[in-house]
Structure 1
Amino acid sequence: MSTFRAELPPGLWERWISHSADLLNSYHKATGRDLMPRGGGAHAEAERLLAAPFVVVSHGTEADPILNYGNRVALALWEMSPMQLIATPSRLTAEAPLREAREQFLAQAARDGFVHGYEGVRISATGRRFHIANATIWNVTDNAGHPAGQAATFARWTFL
């Protein structure tokens, strides 16, 4: 993992450690389950989340939300570097004709706390299309309980 962290700009890994805790705590609060085994402190949990064998991706609370986290599987699937990811509006992960359906699920998650069973087609930075299945989308809050965006996780996708 240290090689990966060395590629990150100053401060990003530290932000991702804190954000990983927000992701894990918010997921548990929304669903009543743990996204992955917990323990070992924030740094160890952030390392495990980054290396998890499933996608975890999130965006912030901006009017046009910008991606702010993607674990290794998410980065590989969307074919982005960490710096590309954190500069990408979340809406651009879906093709234009499919963005309305995506927005409806995000709104449902905002209203209900989380949505499970979401599926849809996404597009990587290079234009590679893939279908995701059985995704969970949840609202993310910071350690003070303030809204911090939304996140999604899924372990099933098929390239189209």
Structure 2
Amino acid sequence: MSLPDPYGDRFSSLLADTYRRLTGKSLLADMPPGATDAARWLYEKAPFGLLAHDTAEDPRFVYANRTVQSFFGYEWEEFIGMPSRLSAPPAKRSTRAKLMKDVLERGYSDHYRGIREGRSGTRFWIEDVTIWNLVDEAGRIHGQAALIRSTTPA
């Protein structure tokens, strides 16, 4: 899959459909009644952070909504293509890598909490995080995504 457009229906559908299949919950539950553009809402207005990386050996971010951009202090152009391991401080990267491997094997993980590092070097906790595999209807894995419900200073 090529890099997604933040407003693209195809990738937002993959995020939402896979999340629903694996967790039984909807990414769009908080979308206002009458809103019709799910991709735009997920990118611009979702009250949670949403990001995804690809399946490369050293996975790179392919999606980061505006909420996540504000958490980490990166703009879309800076975030996209960055190795996802760099979101965690160096001492926490092996723990993060183990979590990603576990998610790959189990499908998803819920209620994760971990330390992350923003562009400025400021560390913060990501809390009540769900991480899941992005799997299309043919069973092909396109990467992994994370829904970050809250953050607090570390």
Shared fold (TM-score, shorter chain, > 0.5): yes
Q: Does the 8 A contact of 1:131 with 1:159 survive in 2?
A: yes
Q: CA deviation at 1:14?
A: 6.6
Q: Does the 8 A contact of 2:6 with 2:63 survive in 1?
A: no
The answer to whether structure 1 residue 62 and structure 2 residue 56 are counterparts is yes
The answer to whether structure 1 residue 35 and structure 2 residue 27 are counterparts is yes
Partner secondary structure for residue 105 of structure 2: helix
Q: CA deviation at 1:109?
A: 0.9
For the residues of structure 2 that align with 1:15 and 1:105, how far apart are their CA atoms? 29
Counterpart in the other structure of 2:10: 18
Task: Note the residue ranges of structure 2 that are not aligned, 5 or more in a row.
Answer: none
Q: Does the 8 A contact of 2:4 with 2:11 survive in 1?
A: no
Percent identity, please.
31
Partner secondary structure for residue 130 of structure 2: strand
Task: Note the residue ranges of structure 1 that are not aligned, 5 or more in a row.
Answer: 1-10
Counterpart in the other structure of 2:83: 89
Ranges of 4+ aligned residues in structure 1 off by more than 6 Å: none
For the residues of structure 2 that align with 1:14 and 1:155, how far apart are their CA atoms? 19
Q: Is the deviation greater in 64-73 or in 139-148?
A: 139-148
The answer to whether structure 1 residue 137 and structure 2 residue 131 are counterparts is yes
For the residues of structure 1 that align with 2:56 and 2:142, how far apart are their CA atoms? 9
For the residues of structure 2 that align with 1:133 and 1:76, how far apart are their CA atoms? 15
Instruction: Give the structure with the higher percent helix.
Output: 1
Partner secondary structure for residue 134 of structure 1: strand
Deviations 1:4-53 (A, max 9, x none): xxxxxxx8637743211111011011111112237x9xx71101111201
Q: Does the 8 A contact of 1:109 with 1:138 survive in 2?
A: yes
The one of 145, 150, 159 aligned to 2:153: 159
For the residues of structure 2 that align with 1:101 and 1:13, how far apart are their CA atoms? 30
